[in-house]
Amino acid sequence: MEKSNARSEILQFLSRDAALGTKLPALLYVLGLTATDNGLNFLNENRQILNAIASLLSDPSDVIVTKCCDCLLNVSSDSRMSSYLLGHEELIPSLLDLLFVNNAQHSNKCAGILSNLTRTEDGSEKVWNAIHPEKAEKLLDAFVRNTLGPEQDHVGFLFSNLTQLPSARGWLMDKDIKRICKLLPLLTLETTKARRHSAAAVLRNCCFDTSRHDSREAFGRIREEHIGARTGSRRLLIFEPHTTSGS
């Protein structure tokens, strides 16, 4: 089958109005493509398919949304398609909406997709502009209070990536609100490894912000005691991409 014909058939079955009986097999086929280099190359060359999948995040079927998240988690780990997806107007708002839905099937995957999208400075800026200030506050509180459960541990990786931005670091280190202090208990509390590591990564990135004199003194001890100062590293920590097999 020629690539143009394959694209047309897939798009036909991925429309909002397509029946569940045809939409689901099409999504499963695309999910299979995301598992191979050739499949990823095909999707990168036929980005209309990415648009269709991103638009289906608002589908009324829970199983369709779940498979869309699986597809987007894998394709967003590819830098070519991650950059492209950032231009989709509905994607980031849809992912953020799904994050706050009490559904374990969606939450961690959406956080993983957003983490993948924020590995670059451009991606971080677009996501930060979408969540700041209201949703950023809500996400941080939910993460540190563990009100969302382990299904949203990847929110911590999202915050770690966002702290490559001076604006995000400044928001966390606001000396009056002291949001960053909310993360400190996660370093010693009995919690998941993902939550502990991501909290440490956020603190590590903020400690290295030398533009804020007050933060250097306040968090110097944290860096020495908890964040591996023995390595001598001065590099901002950005987490590796997440996929359905590695998330």
In the prediction, which pLDDT does 104 show? 67
Cis ω for the linkage preceding 133 (within 30 of 0): yes
Q: What residues contact 10, with CB distance under 8 A and at least 6 apart? A: 26, 29, 30, 46, 49, 52
232: left (phi over 0), alpha (psi -120 to 50) or beta: left
Q: How confident is residue 147, by pLDDT bands cut at 50, 70 and 90?
A: low
Q: What is the pTM of this model?
A: 0.85
Instruction: Tell whether 62 and 98 lie within a shared domain.
Output: no
Question: End of a domain among 17, 48, 75?
Answer: 75
> Is residue 226 domain-resident?
yes
| Tens of pLDDT, residues 63-116 | 999 999 999 999 999 999 999 999 999 999 999 999 887 666 788 899 999 999
In the prediction, which pLDDT does 194 show? 86
Q: What is the CA radius of gyration of the chain?
A: 19
In the prediction, which pLDDT does 191 show? 80
Average pLDDT over residues 161-184: 91
Average pLDDT over residues 190-198: 85
**Whether the predicted pLDDT of 22 surpasses 50:** yes
**Whether the predicted pLDDT of 229 surpasses 50:** no
**Whether the predicted pLDDT of 235 surpasses 60:** no
Residue 185's Cα: distance from chain center in Å? 23
- CATH assignment at residue 204: 1.25.10.10
The residue segments making up the domain with residue 182 are 92-247
Closest CA to 53 of 65, 37, 39, 36: 65
Q: Is the model more confident about 207 or about 212?
A: 207
**Whether the predicted pLDDT of 62 surpasses 70:** yes
Instruction: Tell whether 71 and 135 lie within a shared domain.
Output: no
> Is residue 80 domain-resident?
no
| Tens of pLDDT, residues 32-44 | 999 999 999 999 9
Instruction: Tell whether 45 and 109 lie within a shared domain.
Output: no
Average pLDDT over residues 189-207: 87
**Whether the predicted pLDDT of 247 surpasses 60:** no
Average pLDDT over all residues of the chain = 85
